[in-house]
Amino acid sequence: MGILEKISEIEKEIARTQKNKATEYHLGLLKAKLAKYRAQLLEPSKSASSKGEGFDVMKSGDARVALIGFPSVGKSTFLSLMTSTASEAASYEFTTLTCIPGVIEYKGANIQLLDLPGIIEGAAQGKGRGRQVIAVARTADVIIMMLDATKGEVQRSLLEKELESVGIRLNKHKPNIYFKPKKGGGISFNSTVTLTQCSEKLVQLILHEYKIFNAEVLFREDCSPDEFIDVIVGNRVYMPCLYVYNKIDQISMEEVDRLARKPNSVVISCGMKLNLDYLLEMLWEYLALTCIYTKKRGQRPDFTDAIILRKGASVEHVGTSTKYSPQRVGLTHTMEHEDVIQIVKK
């Protein structure tokens, strides 16, 4: 039985197993095995050749955004509207066959936008060019998931499942679990909170499935077995995602309102150029960037050449900060958007 068949069998077993106290250990073991097989499936093939051509895109600019979605949801049109890059657009599927980079210039920052080929169901199993698409998506700072507003929630749930299966966690934080394998001493298990989803026995069973018999484990929050498995595997990527519903000009106002109120969601129409400015504002917030300007002594601030930093960056990165009125601060002073910096040599 091949890996795909094993994965399919385990997924079926999980689906037909009722979730209760009596089956929690069985389900935990099944999820651990499933994660192992998925990791094996995504390992680079030794026979890989030029099939990845078109995906080796150098990271440039101040941030990278991956634009993913099913074929013909409007990704290429969006890229053309937001950047000076022309990505072939048509009303049939699989128009984009390679990774096409563009640059969004916004608030002094250069944001690299990658128009990835349309992800299809089963991309995590290597169908189409899904594996290369997902590999590039893992390097992004933010994912824009472009969805067809006329197709409800079907596309979103399928894409979330695909990305989840390859270790990309959307709008989630890394589980607060301390895990350290040891050379001896058995498994030391502790928690600082009351656990309702994982028990010491379940943790030991999952570790044994990974052939780990000596380790320190400390739960600092009430995490699920899936989150504990993520910590063991260690190659998960946690990143913000904006769900962008395109083609809102083709649905009712009530449906537009419903989609717009969903968490982490923006509604747009590329065809009618609706709400694109708000999308850029949201993207800036999700990238958590801040714009800093420099000033030489005795001269006016240079507002033509900004320094782009992550929110929370301190003066240690850039020097002494002034905003509105001059002030002298220490290295730990947190920078704010549109601060003006002057370096003073002691």
pLDDT band at 16 (very low <50, low <70, confident <90, very high): confident
More confident residue, 105 or 133: 105
Residues 262-293 have pLDDT tens digits of 999 999 999 999 999 999 999 999 998 888 77
Residues 6 or more apart whose Cβ sits within 8 Å of residue 10: 30, 33, 34, 37
Q: Are 160 and 77 in contact (CB under 8 A)?
A: no
Residue 93 is predicted with a pLDDT of 42
Work out whether strand 100-106 and strand 109-115 pair parallel, antiparallel, or are unpaired: antiparallel
DSSP annotation of 59: P
Say yes or no to pLDDT of 146 above 80: yes
Angle between helices 3-16 and 24-41 (to 10 degrees): 150
Say yes or no to pLDDT of 312 above 80: no
Residues 6 or more apart whose Cβ sits within 8 Å of residue 2: none
Q: Which of the residue ranges 20-29, 119-128, 286-295 would you say has the lowest mean pLDDT?
A: 119-128
Residue 342 is predicted with a pLDDT of 64
Q: Which residue, among 137, 91, 93, has the nearest Cα to 116 in the 3D structure?
A: 137
Residue 335 is predicted with a pLDDT of 63
Residues 6 or more apart whose Cβ sits within 8 Å of residue 20: none
Residues 48-88 have pLDDT tens digits of 444 444 455 667 788 999 888 888 888 888 888 888 765 54
Residues 6 or more apart whose Cβ sits within 8 Å of residue 94: 71, 117, 118, 128
Cα separations in angstroms, 261 against 12, 207, 245, 258: 34, 41, 12, 5
Intra-chain end-to-end CA distance of the chain, in Å: 70
Say yes or no to pLDDT of 161 above 70: yes
Per-residue pLDDT, averaged over 189-210, amounts to 92
